[in-house]
Structure 1
Amino acid sequence: MPRATARTKRPTPAQLGPLATRPTAAAPLLPQALIERLLAVAMERGGEFAEVYVERALTTAVVLEESRIKSAQTGLMQGVGVRVISGAKVGYAYSDDLDEPALMRAARTAALIAQGKGSEQSFKVSRTPSPSYYKVAMPLADVDVARKAELVLRADKAARAFDPRVKQVNGSYADNTKRIAVANTLGHYTEDTQDLCRIGIQVVAEGKNKERRTGMYGGGGRVSFSHFDAFTPEQVGREAARQAVATLGAAECQAGPQTVVLAPGWSGILLHEAVGHGLEADFIRKGTSLFTGKLGQKVASDLVTVIDDGTVANSRGSINVDDEGNAGERKVLIEKGVLKGYMYDSLNAKLMGQRTTGSGRRESFKSMPLPRMTNTYLAPGDHLPEDIVKEVKKGLYCATFGGGQVDITNGNFVFEVSEAYQIEDGKIGRPVKNAILIGVGPEALKNVSRVGCDPMPDPGMGTCGKDGQSVPVGVGLPTLRIDNMTVGGTKVS
């Protein structure tokens, strides 16, 4: 395949317009006076609350196929979203045209959607201090694209050298340096600069009889480019190749109830999907979550403590402030099996008589904020991971997860296990394929019988989708044993 490389020149200050200024406390993304005028216009139709969200993001995307860079692109996305709330009515409009007349039209549109009784007011905003959970010495946008492309080339080389059965390698690198500002009619004004990067490698290995297996690995976070000096692309390539090769010649997975042991780290995706979404306040308010009305009730084993924490240093899901300008928080959702709390954005908190937990997140200025997870993990227990496996006479060890589906109304979930092994007489044995975990979130948590003392975050590769919006998230889990889990497979016991 011929090499095709696309380049986009870095935007000039003239092209950036009002957002051209480097991010400093003395130079807001938009002039403060303009923001205050937008808030006043947004409230002309009598809303109870108005908010202006400003975003400027410089992005890089590199794609590798067949050991060559297929594309390497940089780009700019910028715009302003205006939200007006009146009771439960929400008006939202945005503009990627930063001229004042266009921004005023967006503010008036949002006001018309959520209109109440008309009023004329003026608003003043002042800077609200925010915490700092990630600092990047050099913005990722300032790192040369050639250095980023070199990462995936190195990963490709390492993956192909790992084993001659590796037949195909696809790679990608993506980053963005995003600066946001949020102001509202309560007088708050907050800014944040958010750097985020990730490398990802997919490997296809081929064994006997043309059998093919796939491995995927990668990671990153809100980190400097120097992160890849320690989390090297060679490690990423080799791990993706190892996963692909490891299950060549795997036996068919046996179906039926089994004791399941989850490996630490990325296995936390099961917790995120099967439990986390059901604890988001919009689903609770609408009564569509299985966890509605269960605060203070036992919903899991005594060994289970679930935490959503936006304050983890440099993690992919961390936030200094959410996309409503509220500080990120550490929230205990389930403590020793008892449901303790939900995740609230500002709107659902107001409608439910609660306070926001800094959980209002949006994909971009084109989207309204929703209550979302940040870094969701299971707190560690007291059991040694090797002892957890030794205690299992017969079961399934789940090393790596693939895709899955969850219905939050009843908690039913289905997850593909992309790398799995039989456990026989306390030892991890031969690999199996086509393993699927099937269950109900709370029921699975009630069947947790061992929690390891080896907490591990995922390497920084999670993206969560909801209502058409995607945001970066983190997950984590220690070694975990779940009894009586339904396992789907092609071999019936």
Structure 2
Amino acid sequence: MSFNIVKKKILNTNNISIENIYSIFSDLSTKELNYSDIYFQDKISESWILEDKIIKNGIYNIDKGIGLRAIHNKITSFASIDQINLQGLRKISTYVKDISKNKKVFFKKKILRSEHQSYYNFVNPLNSIPNFEKLDLLHQIDKISRKYDSRVSHVNACLFGAYEYILVVSIDGVLSADIRPLVSLTVSVLSENKSRREMGTNGQGIRGTYKYFLEKDKNGISNIKKIAEEAARVSILNLFAKEAPSGYFPVVLGSGLPGVLLHEAVGHGLEGDFNRKKLSVYSDKINKKITSSLCTVIDDGTKKEFRGSISIDDEGTPGQRNILVKNGILKKYLQDKFNASLMETVSTGSGRRESYRHVPMPRMTNTYMLPGKSTVKDIIESVDYGIYAVSFNGGQVDITSGEFVFSTSEAYLIRNGKIVTPIKDVTLIGSGIEVMKKISMVGNDLFIENGIGICSKEGQCVPVCVGQPTIKINNLTVGGTK
């Protein structure tokens, strides 16, 4: 169904035929190319921004264009144009031809339509509710946040929606299409108590429509109320957080959002391009133990309506569920077509790009660790003195060494097996490959955070999700202010 809709939207409307594309590839195939593909994208997006009870911004954006890539050995030639028509396609095809010698290459003379399963609906979120309801939703956020506690002084919120059509055609015969909805809601709350001010931030996003935020659970509580009150709760909590200790002691990472450490310290290191170039700490470690045997790590682009999910990647390969690490043993790297071919393996459906202006590269989708058998209560009680980190607000990772630095947005001190007080300004420092080996307990409470995750790599940003159960790291360097 999506194929016919996208074909009409992108090709038929712009007077481009499959025969025209065949002609472009036939021309390119007179060169010594290993591979070539054409990426069409037609995207609309909007954002509505509230600052302290006032709608400060309403932005609507249209972005469409074509990206054409040709690969000769390890050299990639790429050109893009911000319009969709046959003249523009022919124009950028002349640029990419210049990289190679005049020698014919095999070209499949029949472009095959690729069927795939979709993991989200095709409803345009921008039309899912009227504009006045979008503004009312933001005003409700402001009221809910302020009602939570009188110390809430400032509330900002951003409602974002996007709807895009993509079509991928490649010289090896692939013809795939997708329609991708995406919405998100982000809330930031500032609270004040005497001279102290603290921020709390929360957000959610899905591949769906704005109606998701208005849905209510069995107790009648709406998603916008949960999002707003969580941001306010963290803000108020940190008003009374104590200074964090420094040292080297056990750290418990909570379920859900702390999976960002897994994403950064492990996930990026398992992307194919880093390993092909021997830049990752995980290079040449397939079928070797890289984590505790309690750890199984998944990257899954097939989870229904999750932010990081993809029915197809941006090379036309169907989205997949990839087991990266099984019981501590490294099983595979995330691959796009280019790096997979050079490493003599196959694509894992991980070729992603920000837009038609960018070349695809191996990227994560929804990355998480499978649950274990321990209860959260048992994990906390096993710690005499340590840190319980519930959420992060940022960090840095060196892919080559695996070393990371993360700061928490919500954390607690554990003493004698009990959570005793909230603490702030906690910094976690370590090496991904070493920390993963120190995991001694894995909880049974897996939660995948369908939040507002954005993964940045080489200047490109794509939506992702992270998750994990509660885990115990035996020892980790903690930087505090106490």
TM-score (ref. length: structure 1) = 0.92
Q: CA deviation at 1:38?
A: 2.8
Q: Which deviates further from its counterpart, 233-242 or 358-367?
A: 233-242
Structure 2 CA distance, aligned partners of 1:43 and 1:112?
A: 12
Aligned 1:22-171 pairs, distance under 5 A: 24=5, 27=8, 29-30=10-11, 31-113=17-99, 115-119=100-104, 123-136=109-122, 138-143=123-128, 144-171=130-157
Aligned 1:251-400 pairs, distance under 5 A: 251-400=242-391
In structure 1, the residue matched to 2:417 is: 426
Q: Which deviates further from its counterpart, 182-191 or 32-41?
A: 32-41
Structure 2 CA distance, aligned partners of 1:25 and 1:364?
A: 16
In structure 2, the residue matched to 1:190 is: 176
| 8 A Cα contact 2:250 2:473, kept in partner | yes
Structure 1 CA distance, aligned partners of 2:316 and 2:405?
A: 35
Q: CA deviation at 1:28?
A: 5.8
In structure 2, the residue matched to 1:7 is: none
In structure 1, the residue matched to 2:209 is: 224
The amino acid that maps onto 2:203 is G
Structure 1 CA distance, aligned partners of 2:276 and 2:6?
A: 37
Q: Is the alpha carbon distance of 1:280 and 1:202 closer, same or farther for their aligned partners in structure 2, counting shifts above 3 Å?
A: same
In structure 1, the residue matched to 2:196 is: 211
- Equivalent residue in structure 2 for 1:462, among 453, 464, 479: 453
| 8 A Cα contact 2:413 2:419, kept in partner | yes
Mark the runs of 5 or more structure 2 residues left unpaired by the alignment: 12-16, 217-221
In structure 1, the residue matched to 2:186 is: 200
Q: Which deviates further from its counterpart, 223-232 or 334-343?
A: 223-232
Q: Which deviates further from its counterpart, 144-153 or 436-445?
A: 144-153
Structure 1 CA distance, aligned partners of 2:132 and 2:60?
A: 11
Q: Are residue 490 (structure 1) and residue 468 (structure 2) matched?
A: no
Q: What is the RMSD computed on CA atoms of the aligned residues?
A: 1.7
In structure 1, the residue matched to 2:14 is: none
Give the SS at the match of 1:175.
strand
| 8 A Cα contact 2:276 2:339, kept in partner | yes
Q: Which deviates further from its counterpart, 266-275 or 102-111?
A: 102-111
Structure 1 CA distance, aligned partners of 2:322 and 2:21?
A: 32
Structure 2 CA distance, aligned partners of 1:25 and 1:124?
A: 20
Mark the runs of 5 or more structure 1 residues left unpaired by the alignment: 1-20
Give the SS at the match of 2:5.
coil
| 8 A Cα contact 1:218 1:460, kept in partner | yes
| 8 A Cα contact 2:411 2:424, kept in partner | yes
Q: CA deviation at 1:26?
A: 6.2
Q: CA deviation at 1:23?
A: 5.9
The amino acid that maps onto 1:385 is V
| 8 A Cα contact 2:335 2:346, kept in partner | yes
The amino acid that maps onto 1:425 is N
| 8 A Cα contact 2:108 2:172, kept in partner | no
Structure 2 CA distance, aligned partners of 1:363 and 1:148?
A: 26
| 8 A Cα contact 1:86 1:116, kept in partner | no
| 8 A Cα contact 2:40 2:168, kept in partner | yes
| 8 A Cα contact 2:126 2:209, kept in partner | no
Q: Are residue 472 (structure 1) and residue 458 (structure 2) matched?
A: no
The amino acid that maps onto 1:242 is R
In structure 2, the residue matched to 1:17 is: none
Q: CA deviation at 1:481?
A: 0.8
Q: CA deviation at 1:44?
A: 4.0
Q: CA deviation at 1:118?
A: 4.3
TM-score (ref. length: structure 2) = 0.94
| 8 A Cα contact 2:256 2:468, kept in partner | yes
| 8 A Cα contact 1:413 1:438, kept in partner | yes
Q: CA deviation at 1:424?
A: 1.4
| 8 A Cα contact 1:203 1:240, kept in partner | yes
Q: CA deviation at 1:126?
A: 2.5
Give the SS at the match of 1:60.
strand
The amino acid that maps onto 2:480 is G
Q: Which deviates further from its counterpart, 123-132 or 373-382?
A: 123-132
Give the SS at the match of 1:93.
strand
| 8 A Cα contact 2:187 2:202, kept in partner | yes
Q: CA deviation at 1:161?
A: 1.1
Q: Is the alpha carbon distance of 1:263 and 1:66 closer, same or farther for their aligned partners in structure 2, counting shifts above 3 Å?
A: same
Q: CA deviation at 1:61?
A: 0.8
Q: CA deviation at 1:97?
A: 2.5
Give the SS at the match of 1:481.
strand
| 8 A Cα contact 2:373 2:442, kept in partner | yes
- Aligned pair count reads 468
The amino acid that maps onto 1:313 is K
Q: Is the alpha carbon distance of 1:111 and 1:151 closer, same or farther for their aligned partners in structure 2, counting shifts above 3 Å?
A: farther
Structure 1 CA distance, aligned partners of 2:264 and 2:120?
A: 26
- Equivalent residue in structure 2 for 1:409, among 400, 424, 428: 400
Q: Which deviates further from its counterpart, 29-38 or 172-181?
A: 29-38
Q: Which deviates further from its counterpart, 386-395 or 327-336?
A: 386-395
Q: CA deviation at 1:29?
A: 1.9
The amino acid that maps onto 1:104 is R
The amino acid that maps onto 2:264 is E
Q: CA deviation at 1:147?
A: 2.5
Structure 2 CA distance, aligned partners of 1:457 and 1:214?
A: 24
| 8 A Cα contact 1:44 1:111, kept in partner | no
Structure 2 CA distance, aligned partners of 1:374 and 1:480?
A: 22
Structure 2 CA distance, aligned partners of 1:177 and 1:373?
A: 21
The amino acid that maps onto 2:332 is G
Structure 1 CA distance, aligned partners of 2:108 and 2:412?
A: 65
The amino acid that maps onto 2:460 is Q
Q: CA deviation at 1:234?
A: 1.6
Give the SS at the match of 1:308.
strand
| 8 A Cα contact 1:39 1:52, kept in partner | no
In structure 2, the residue matched to 1:10 is: none
